[in-house]
Structure formats: structure tokens, C-alpha cells
Amino acid sequence: MGKRILGSMLLLLLGMVSFTFLSGLKVEAADRVHTVSSQETVESIAATYDISAEQLMKTNGLPDGKLYRGQKLIIQTDYTPSIYQWTERGKQIGNYAKSFTGFKKTAGEETPKKGFDSSGLIYWVLSRQNVPTDRMSVEGYYKEGMDTDTPKAGDVIFFLEKESSKVVTAGIYLGGNQFVNSGYGAETVQVRSTTEKYFEQYQAAYKTYTPKGEHVVQNNETLKSISDIYGISVETIKMRNALPTDSLMQGQYLQIYSSPLYPFYANQEASYDKAYDVIKYAYTLRGFTYVFGEYDPMIGMDCSGFIYWVMKEQGISIKRGSAADYYSLLPKLRDPKAGDLVFFRDTDLSQEIAHVGIYLGDGRFIHTTKNTGVHISDLTSSYFTQKFESFGQVQSNMD
């Protein structure tokens, strides 16, 4: 009996020692970094470290299995699955940005193959992480992002001249005063610190593209299961997102809290009774892909298909047409209201109406494009200023 007790105590002590030291080893292993070489794949690297390919991709925020020679991947061996949250999403974005440390700085470029400038790095990282955004300058990203007083990994950090507030450079924030930047003082992408003498001369500002208060619908989730996670009623979630039914689509962005996430329309006069609902529902489709000639989010939508789907789902009778068709139907406006349409001409010799979106207010509109899918853009950007044609009054088509 005494021997059994002594044996049990020894096993318990051994277990405690193993836990103490092995957990330390796990932490050390979690900090390992693997530099990708030629011919390596996600599967081969995962096999090297005896982890799953899915785990390797999730830890580093890899959007697909494509790797780039020189990419630096974090090897985390103590992976624990967790409910999808924006804080975790932000860490993945930061880790993905960090994986390009050492890649060359190239003015005007935005790919691992050609290199990155500071805004090009932001565009590549965010777009590859399914955060829908246009390719813009650092000034454009500063204007488009949402202010945050509590910056977190995955946000964008900007450095502004203190007197003029002119944006000098920007990068992907990692937390703890660190950020990934392809810009000043280095010829490659580097992890930098706000405490460096160079950056201390500027004012730091943070914008978020991975906001709190949204939930991204995962496979097999229901309104009831999401309601249980946040302690908010199903009806409230439906109302805040203008969901026409209880059905959800994987990848939909659901606003959970009461304040509008992108409040461009909040102080705008609505063009018609259901304009705010049209906008709220359109917001849930951000990131859904572009497919020419289609209108179903689960297949993909072109610009006019997006208009048709959103209006139809909100009970607004509208025929399936092209951007040019909608342009021909609506009276033109100088002063649009929230929910009106905005039209753009092609810049080639044809000069035809080639694109359409939904006006949100404050110079913003939501639309879908080939490279980015459904996203919000700024009318004052040079690209859309060049192509802008007019606004169309939606209310007139309902009389």
C-alpha cells in the first residue's frame, strides 16, 4: 500500500516537473521562425515541425498555400483552436505582414515578386487577408480607415508631420510599439519601433481595418449560435444588419453593436424609406467576390448584380440590368442622398457607363470590383474622380 502511494506521489511529481519544463519548451518552440526556401510548400514545412498545414496557415494568416522564398513563418507548436474573433484575426494580419521581413523596398510596387513601397505593403497584406480595400496611397489609407484609441495588431499605424498633419509613411501595427514598414531608413521590409529616433519626430495615429463589433459568419453558424456567443437577441442582430431572413452566408460580416461600423450614412438624409436597410445589408457582403454577369453572393456578383441582389433582398422591385441600364432609368442628381446610385464611365474610347455603386454619404460608396470584391471606396480618389459620371436618384424608380 505504502509503495503504491509513494509511486503515485512520484508520478504526480514527475508530471508537475514535466508540465513546468515542457510548457516552457512549448513557449520557446512557439517563437521559432522558419525562412522559406525554394521548392518548400506549406505541407513540407508543416511536416518538418510535426504540425498541421492548417495550423501553419492560420498562425501566419496565409490566405492560400502559395509561399515566397525568403518569407519568415512563425512556427507555433502549442496551437489551440478558438472562436473566430477580430483580435485573433488582427494577429494573423500582423504575422502575415511580418513574414515579408527582408523583402525589397520598391517605389510604386505592391507584390512580393517586385517589392513593396509602404502603401503597397499595406495593400498586399490587407487584400490577401480578405480585408477589402482599394490600392491607395498612404494618405488614402489614412482617410479611409477608422480612428481607434486602442490600437491592436493588424491595425495600420501612420506617421504624421506634427504641424501640417501630412502623412509621411505607414505600416502594419504588431502591438508593443512595433510595426512592419517598407519605407524610410531601410531598403527592405523591416519590423520597426515607434521609439526609434526617426519615428519619434512624428505624431503616430492608428486606423483600424479589423474592427471590434463585427462577427464574420463561419461555416454552419446560425443566428441563434451567434446570438448565444454575444448575448444579443436574434431579432436585434437581424435589425442591425437588415437581414431579410434567418439564413446566413459564410463570410457575411455582421455588425453586433449598436453604433454603425462605417457611419457614413448616419447623418445623411435617406433617398427612400429602405435606404438605410439597403446600406446595412450591403455592408454584410463586404469581401464577397466579383464574377462578371452574376448576382448571387455565393457565386459572385458584378457591379450591377450587386445592386440587383441587395435591392431584391430588401424587397425593392428592380429588374436585373447592367450599369448602363440603371443609368438610363434614373434621373441624374448633383446632391445625392444615402442609398442613391453613383455611376462611372469607362475611360477608353467608348466612354460607356461601365460601373455603378451605392452612395453612402461623406463621399463614400459601396460597390464590387474584379480585384477586391465588395468594398467601400472614396469618390475623391484620383481613380474614381477620373471616371465619375453622375449620381442617380433611386426614389424616382419607386413612384
What is the per-residue pLDDT across 67-117, written as a single tens digit (0 to 9) for each? Answer: 999 999 998 765 443 333 567 788 999 999 999 999 999 999 999 999 999
Q: How far apart are CA 134 and CA 122, in angstroms?
A: 10
342 has a pLDDT exceeding 90: yes
Using an 8 Å Cβ cutoff, are 394 and 330 in contact?
Answer: yes
Mean pLDDT of 260-280: 90
- At residue 78, the pLDDT reads 57
Task: Please state, for a pLDDT cut of 90, what percent of the chain lies above it.
Answer: 61
- At residue 381, the pLDDT reads 84
Band (pLDDT 50/70/90 cuts) for residue 149 is confident
Contacting residues for 28 by C-beta, under 8 A, at least 6 apart: none
Task: Please state, for a pLDDT cut of 70, what percent of the chain lies above it.
Answer: 87
- At residue 54, the pLDDT reads 83
Chain CA centroid to CA 242, Å: 21
Place of cell 518548400: 40
Least confident window among 51-55, 68-72, 231-235, 313-317: 51-55
282 has a pLDDT exceeding 90: yes
What is the per-residue pLDDT across 199-231, written as a single tens digit (0 to 9) for each? Answer: 999 999 999 877 666 888 888 899 999 998 888
Place of cell 484609441: 149
What are the C-alpha distances in Å from 41 to residues 69, 70, 169, 232? 10, 13, 33, 42
Q: How far apart are CA 232 and CA 238, in angstroms?
A: 10
Using an 8 Å Cβ cutoff, are 155 and 217 in contact?
Answer: no
What is the per-residue pLDDT across 358-368, written as a single tens digit (0 to 9) for each? Answer: 999 989 999 99
- At residue 397, the pLDDT reads 67
More confident residue, 50 or 10: 50
pTM for this entry: 0.70
176 has a pLDDT exceeding 80: yes
Using an 8 Å Cβ cutoff, are 206 and 158 in contact?
Answer: yes
More confident residue, 303 or 4: 303
Question: b/e string for 272-298 if b means 16 or more Cβ within 10 A?
Answer: bebbbbbbbbbbbbbbbbbbeebbebe
12 has a pLDDT exceeding 60: no
46 has a pLDDT exceeding 90: no
What is the per-residue pLDDT across 346-359, written as a single tens digit (0 to 9) for each? Answer: 866 667 999 999 99
Q: How far apart are CA 342 and CA 186, in angstroms?
A: 42
More confident residue, 188 or 30: 188
